[in-house]
């Protein structure tokens, strides 16, 4: 089986190399990196901020007021995946999102690798730097995996957990990512990443490929050309493959104690919707919503619907917490009244 898969990948590599040779525009080959300053001019916003975490300058946005939601994007993505979603959420929440290390304007880490511990440690340091003691944490794909691992490791920091097509259980690595691991292609992928690969990948992760615009393809393609990002992606893929083969990784899902909402696109071809049943089995009480005709990135494909469902679920949970709080105060107040009544009776008897 492995030999057939290797032969198939090699054949596909040859086809891709042939396709590269036919590209008419030199700019679309993805050979030259794009200087960070040029990318910043195009992809920063007036609200863009930077904070140094372990020597890496993290690009992030901090918008809105209210309960804090921290949002983590997936592989080869950026904080811009939340743009339209954030417009619906900022009237109700403080939305904090960043280009996680290895992607977007943040780029590669200065030292060390891209292990699970690095990502959760980075997020912990990031929240401490922004003085966020507790938050609602959401993440898509790789960002979802970072989110649930963080909730397991630091449950006191996460009040509610929202996962969108998260990585967690053993899966087939999507071919555009797996291709970079093919002998020969791996070396080439450090220096040549044609625009059409991003176009094809985006059409693959959307349930409705017609929603993939040239502007969106350019965004993914150009941010990948930030100096250091291509090499970082290969290292991240190495780490993800190791986790994918580690049975203890998915077993940690059973340790989630935080109230959890699971959102999933039914047309996800990267992490299949069949994983939902395993999440339900391993996380009792998890609330799930499935989206018809939607792929791997619901927050990007149907941002309004995702925002609406998140807001409804978060609000419902906060009402439960408030009701529980009221009930607790009632019990405490009743206890105090009973104590005072009994104490007064004792004093009265002593006086008599």
Give the chain's mean pLDDT: 86
pLDDT of residue 11: 52
pLDDT of residue 343: 57
Maximum distance among all Cα pairs of the chain, rounded to whole angstroms: 106
Question: DSSP class of residue 26?
Answer: G
Digit-coded pLDDT (tens) for 18-53: 455 445 455 677 678 999 999 999 999 999 999 999
Looking at residues 191-207, what average pLDDT do you find?
90
Q: Residue 171 — pLDDT band, cuts 50, 70, 90?
A: confident
27-344 — its CATH code?
A: 3.40.50.1820
Per-residue three-class SS string for 289-308: EEECCCCCCHHHHCHHHHHH
Q: Where are the domains of the chain?
A: 27-344
Calpha distance 14→349 (Å, rounded):
98
Looking at residues 126-147, what average pLDDT do you find?
97
Q: Is the CB of residue 163 less than 8 Å from the CB of residue 260? A: yes
pLDDT of residue 320: 59
In this predicted structure, the answer to whether residue 66 has a pLDDT above a threshold of 60 is yes
pLDDT of residue 180: 59
Digit-coded pLDDT (tens) for 322-346: 444 444 554 554 556 665 656 566 6
Higher pLDDT, 347 or 262: 262
Q: Which of 1, 154, 159 is nearest to 70 (CA)?
A: 159
Question: DSSP class of residue 50?
Answer: E
Looking at residues 84-93, what average pLDDT do you find?
97
pLDDT of residue 227: 96
Q: Residue 145 — pLDDT band, cuts 50, 70, 90?
A: very high
């Amino acid at each position: 089986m492995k030999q057939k898969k290797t032969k198939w990948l090699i054949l596909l590599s040859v086809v891709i190399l042939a396709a590269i040779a036919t590209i008419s525009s030199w700019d679309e080959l993805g050979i030259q990196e794009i200087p960070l300053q040029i990318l910043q001019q195009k992809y920063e916003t007036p609200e863009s901020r930077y904070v140094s975490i372990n020597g890496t300058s993290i690009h992030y946005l901090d918008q809105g007021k209210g309960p804090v939601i921290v949002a983590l994007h997936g592989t080869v993505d950026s904080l811009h995946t939340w743009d339209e979603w954030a417009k619906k959420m900022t009237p109700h929440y403080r939305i904090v999102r960043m280009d996680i290390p290895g992607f977007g304007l943040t780029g590669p880490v200065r030292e060390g690798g891209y292990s699970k511990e690095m990502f959760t440690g980075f997020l912990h340091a990031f929240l401490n730097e922004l003085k966020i003691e507790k938050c609602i944490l959401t993440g898509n794909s790789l960002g979802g995996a970072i989110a649930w691992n963080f909730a397991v490791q630091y449950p006191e920091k996460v009040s509610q957990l929202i996962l969108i097509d998260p990585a967690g259980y053993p899966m087939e690595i999507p071919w555009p990512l797996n291709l970079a691991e093919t002998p020969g292609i791996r070396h080439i992928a450090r220096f040549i990443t044609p625009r059409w690969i991003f176009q094809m990948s985006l059409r693959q992760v959307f349930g409705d490929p017609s929603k993939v615009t040239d502007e969106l393809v350019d965004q993914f393609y150009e941010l990948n050309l930030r100096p250091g990002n291509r090499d970082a992606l290969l290292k991240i893929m190495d780490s993800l493959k190791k986790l994918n083969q580690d049975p203890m990784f998915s077993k940690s899902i059973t340790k989630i104690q935080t109230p959890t909402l699971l959102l999933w696109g039914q047309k996800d071809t990267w992490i299949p919707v069949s994983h939902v049943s395993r999440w339900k089995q391993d996380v009792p009480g998890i609330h799930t919503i499935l989206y018809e005709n939607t792929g791997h990135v619901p927050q990007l494909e149907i941002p309004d619907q995702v925002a609406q469902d998140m807001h409804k679920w978060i609000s419902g949970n906060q009402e439960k917490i408030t009701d529980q709080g009221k009930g607790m105060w009632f019990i405490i107040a009743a206890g105090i009244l009973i104590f005072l009544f009994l104490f007064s009776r004792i004093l009265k008897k002593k006086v008599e």
